[in-house]
Structure 1
Amino acid sequence: MRVLVIGSGAREDAICKSLMKKTENDIFCAPGNVGMRLFNIKTINIAENDFAKLTDFVIEMGIDYTIVGPELPLNEGIVDYFEEKGLKIFGPNQKSAQIESSKLFSKNLMKAAHIPTALYKEFTDAKLANEELKKSKLPIVVKTDSLAGGKGVYIINDLVNGGRIIEELLIEHKYQTERIIIEEFLSGEEFSLMAFVQGDNLYPMPIAQDYKRKSDGDKGSNTGGMGAVCPVKNINQSIVSDAYENILKPFVKEMNRQGFDYTGVLYAGLILTDSGLKVIEFNVRFGDPETEVVIPRIKSNLSEVIFGLLNNEILDIEWKSKGTDLGVFVASQGYPEDPKVGNVIDSKKKFLNYSGEINFASIDEEDENLLTNGGRLFCIHAHADDLPEAQNNIYSFLDNIDTTNIFFRHDIGKNSISE
C-alpha cells in the first residue's frame, strides 16, 4: 500500500515505522522531521494544515489512504476536506474532533452517556472564576477549553498561582482561550486506553501509562508527556475490562446515537480513584507518548488494520502479550515554559548506533550533529523481557548523550511493577 501520514512528531515517526514493517508498503510523512529522514522515512514538505496541497499530493502519488496524527488538522476539518474529494483518510471528522478541542463538549457527551468524570464548572469571566477558586478546596484543576498541545491543564495548590493562571487564560487569552473549566482534583492511578473505532465497532489497544510531569518523582510543570510504559502491571485486567465496558463502549454508543459516525482512534485518559474509575479526558487521535510504546506491540499488520477499518471490515487484531515497551522523551532545556532551540544535542552517528528504536520529533541538523528545534526532541524506545531490562537499555544509551542542552526523566516506568 501507499500511505501518507500527516504530522511531524515522535507519534508519527512511530506510526510510519510500524507501517514500514511490511516492506512492500510505500510510506510518506508530511511534513515529517529531520530525524525521520535518518531512518529512510520519505518526508514531504507540505504543512499539516495545507489541505489543498496534501490532497493534490495524494491524488498525484496514488496514495491508498491517509492517517492523521495531530489534533489540530482534525479540528480544522481535514477529514471532511479529503472525503469531499473522495479520498480515504483515517481520523474523525470535524464534528467529532470537538471531543478534544472543547472540554465542555466532551463533558456534555459524558454526562449524556452517564460516564463518571470530575465535577466541574465553566467560566468565561475571570472575576467569577477567581471567586470560584477562592471558595474551592485545594488542590483544584483549571483547564483551558481549547487545544493547547497537552499543556493547558493546571493543578492549583495556592490562590496566587491560580489567579495568575486564570488571568493568563481569560484575560491574556493564552492558547486562544475564551472559556475555562474549573474541576475537582482527582487522586489515584492514571492510565491511558486507546481504541480503534469504526461506527459501532470498537477494538481496544493495550493500556499504557504516561508521565506528564517534567521531573523525576512526578514533580514540576505539566508537559506533553515525558515518557510512557506498556503494559501497566499495577492496573489489573478487571479494571481494564471495566473501563472498556462502562466507559469506552457507552461513550461510543452515545456518539453513534447523536450521529457522529466516528472513524479513527479514541483515546481515554482514565484514573482509578477510591470511588472507582473516572475519565480525565477524551482525545480523538493516537496519544503521544503512548503511541510510541503501544504500536510496537501490535502483531497484526497496522496498514491492513487501518485499511480494514476504512472499508468497514470486522477485524481480529492481535497484540503481543509478553515483554515490556518503554519510551523516554528527551526535551530541550527550558521546556515546557521556554525551550531553547538551535543548540547541539550530539552526533547523528551516536543515534544511528542505538540498538532499539528512536522516534524523532523537534530536531534539526547541522553538519554531523543534531540540534534542538522545539520542546520534546525525541523518544528513546526499548522492548525487553521486563521493565528493568528496558530501563537499562534506554538509560545506558542516554547516559552517554551530552546533557548540556537537554534533559530527561530517570524514573519512567517507576510505578509499573516488573515481572
Structure 2
Amino acid sequence: MGLNILVIGSGGREHVICQKFLQSPLVDQVFCAKGNAGMTKDGIQIVDIAEDDHAALIAFAKGQQIDWSFIGPEVPLLNGIVDDFAAAGLKAFGPKKAAAMIEGSKDFAKEIMTKYQIPTGAYQTFFDFEKAKAYVEKMGAPIVIKADGLAAGKGVVVALTIEEAIAALKDMLEDNKFGASGAKVVVEEFLAGEEFSLLAFVRNQEVYPMVIAQDHKRAYDNDLGPNTGGMGAYAPVPQIPEAMVTEAIEKILKPAAAGLLAEGRDFTGILYAGLIATEAGPKVIEFNARFGDPETQVVLQRLESDLAKIISDLLEGKVPEISWQKTGYSLGVVVAADGYPGEYQKGQVIPEFSEGNVYYAGVAEEDGRLVTNGGRVYLVEASGATLKEAQTKVYQILDKADTAGTFYRHDIGAKAIQK
C-alpha cells in the first residue's frame, strides 16, 4: 500500500504540491481539503471540508487512514492545526502555532531578528496613531507601513511620501481597515534593492534551502497598481549572485531556525524568507511559515527529488535527499478576475488549455465547465532553457486563450531578461 496524503488548502500552491505528491511512486492517493474543482483534472481528490474545521479534518484523516497531512496556507497554521493534529495522534507537516508566529506577527518577527542579529530594516512598533505619525514625520519618506497581523498579502504599504504613510497609518490604526491585524503597526525603514524569495525545508535547526524565486506583487504591468497576493513568479533569479544566496542561508535562514528553537518555538515546515538584495547584503522584508503563492508553482518545477519522500523523511527524523535542476528556468503568470484586488465578478467561463502547466485557485464548476470564483483564478507555467524562452512560451499560451473577464501582467520576468 502506498501513502495516503491529505493536503489542506485550496489554491494554486496546493494544486502544485498535490501534483508533485501524485508523481511519487510512494503515493497511493492525494486528498485536498477544501481544494478546488480544477484540481480534479490532475487526479487529486477534493474533500469538502473547510481548512478551519479542525475536528472534521482530523476525523477525515483518521477515517481515510491518512499517513500524514501537509498544511498549505498560513491561517490554519496560526489557528494551531498542527498542534491539534499532534494532540489527535496524527502527523502533519508544518510549524506549530508558536513557531508560525514568525508570520503571524510582524512585531514578533522583528524581535526575533533583532535578538538573533538577522539583517533587516530598522523599525518601530506602534498602537497609537499620533505617536506613529510623529515617528514617520521624523524619519521621512519613503517608508514602509505594515499591519502587524495577517492581511492576505495586502497589509503592507510602501509609502513614497509622508502623506501616503500617514494615510496608511490612519487606515490601520484609526479606521480599522484590517481589523485586529492592523491594531498594531510596524513602521519600517525602506530598503532599496531587488527582492527575491528564499524558501527552505526546515526541521528544528536543520535548513534545506530551495531554488530562489522572484514574485511580482503589483497588479499591473511595470509594477503599477495596488499590491496583490502575487501576479506571477519565476525561478531561479539570474541577477541575484550565488554569494548573496549563500549569505542569506548562513545569516538569515539558519539563525532564524536556530533562534526559534532557542525560544522553545521549534519550527518544522517550510520557512519562507522574503529578502531584498541591498548594497550591504541580503536583508529580511518578511518571514512566512509556509510555501509562497505563486512562487511554489515555479520553484517546485525545479525539484528533481521526490517531494513526498522529502516530507516523509523530515517527519521521520531522517536526512532527506534533495536535488534541484541546474539548468533552465520556470516562469508562471497569474490570471486574475477583472477588478482584483478590489471588487470582481464571478462566473466567467475559463478556457481549456492543452499546453503548459495550469494551476487552479479561484475556480468553481458549473455545467461541467470551470468558471471564475475568486480574485486570482489560475496560473500558467512553462519552463525553458532561458528565462526568455520560458516567458515566451507562457505568453504564447495566454495570448491565444479567450481570457475575457480576466487580466494578467504582460511583463513577468521582463526586468531580469533586460539585464
Task: Give the TM-score band, short-chain normalised.
Answer: over 0.9
2:15 aligns to what?
A: 13
2:244 aligns to what?
A: 239
Question: For 1:94-122, what per-residue CA distance to the aligned partner results, in whole angstroms no more than 9, with x for missing partners?
Answer: 10011001001000101111011011111
What TM-score do the two structures reach when normalised by structure 2? Answer: 0.95
Question: For 1:320-356, what per-residue CA distance to the aligned partner results, in whole angstroms no more than 9, with x for missing partners?
Answer: 1111111111111111122x13241434xx23x2x22
Q: Residue 127 of structure 1: CA displacement?
A: 2.1
1:170-319 correspondence runs (5 A): 170-176=173-179, 177-319=182-324
Question: For 1:36-81, what per-residue CA distance to the aligned partner results, in whole angstroms no more than 9, with x for missing partners?
Answer: 1233211000000100000000000000000000000000100000
1:341 aligns to what?
A: 345
* Aligned counterparts of 2:58 and 2:350: Cα–Cα separation in 1: 37
- The one-letter amino acid paired with 1:413 is G
**1:85 matches 2:88:** yes
Question: For 1:337-391, what per-residue CA distance to the aligned partner results, in whole angstroms no more than 9, with x for missing partners?
Answer: 22x13241434xx23x2x2211110112333543221211111111122112211
Which deviates further from its counterpart, 141-150 or 254-263? 254-263
- The one-letter amino acid paired with 1:121 is Q
2:4 aligns to what?
A: 2
Q: Residue 313 of structure 1: CA displacement?
A: 0.6
1:120 aligns to what?
A: 123
Q: Residue 225 of structure 1: CA displacement?
A: 0.7
Q: Residue 417 of structure 1: CA displacement?
A: 4.2
* Aligned counterparts of 1:130 and 1:418: Cα–Cα separation in 2: 39
**1:366 matches 2:369:** no
* Aligned counterparts of 2:41 and 2:345: Cα–Cα separation in 1: 20
CA contact (8 A) 1:386 1:418 kept: no
* Aligned counterparts of 2:342 and 2:125: Cα–Cα separation in 1: 26
1:387 aligns to what?
A: 387
Q: 1:53 aligns with which of 53, 56, 64?
A: 56
What TM-score do the two structures reach when normalised by structure 1? Answer: 0.95
Secondary structure of 2:415's match? coil
CA contact (8 A) 1:345 1:406 kept: no
The alignment's C-alpha RMSD in Å is 1.5
* Aligned counterparts of 1:164 and 1:418: Cα–Cα separation in 2: 35
* Aligned counterparts of 1:132 and 1:222: Cα–Cα separation in 2: 24
* Aligned counterparts of 1:374 and 1:159: Cα–Cα separation in 2: 34
Q: Residue 30 of structure 1: CA displacement?
A: 0.1
Q: Residue 34 of structure 1: CA displacement?
A: 1.5
* Aligned counterparts of 1:192 and 1:366: Cα–Cα separation in 2: 36
* Aligned counterparts of 2:190 and 2:36: Cα–Cα separation in 1: 37
Q: Residue 415 of structure 1: CA displacement?
A: 2.7
* Aligned counterparts of 1:336 and 1:236: Cα–Cα separation in 2: 33
* Aligned counterparts of 2:103 and 2:287: Cα–Cα separation in 1: 6
1:318-357 correspondence runs (5 A): 318-338=323-343, 340-347=344-351, 350-351=352-353, 353=354, 355-357=355-357
Structure 2: runs of 5 or more not aligned: none
CA contact (8 A) 2:147 2:155 kept: yes
- The one-letter amino acid paired with 2:18 is C
1:130 aligns to what?
A: 133
* Aligned counterparts of 2:211 and 2:361: Cα–Cα separation in 1: 24
Which deviates further from its counterpart, 363-372 or 192-201? 363-372
* Aligned counterparts of 1:309 and 1:56: Cα–Cα separation in 2: 24
1:36 aligns to what?
A: 39
Which deviates further from its counterpart, 234-243 or 152-161? 152-161
Question: For 1:243-301, what per-residue CA distance to the aligned partner results, in whole angstroms no more than 9, with x for missing partners?
Answer: 11111111111112112221101000111112221110111001111100011211111
* Aligned counterparts of 1:153 and 1:277: Cα–Cα separation in 2: 20
* Aligned counterparts of 1:262 and 1:368: Cα–Cα separation in 2: 42
1:110 aligns to what?
A: 113
Secondary structure of 2:114's match? helix
1:138-149 correspondence runs (5 A): 138-149=141-152
User: How many residues of Structure 1 are paired with residues of Structure 2 in the alignment?
Assistant: 414
Which deviates further from its counterpart, 124-133 or 386-395? 124-133
CA contact (8 A) 1:190 1:272 kept: yes
Q: Residue 162 of structure 1: CA displacement?
A: 2.8
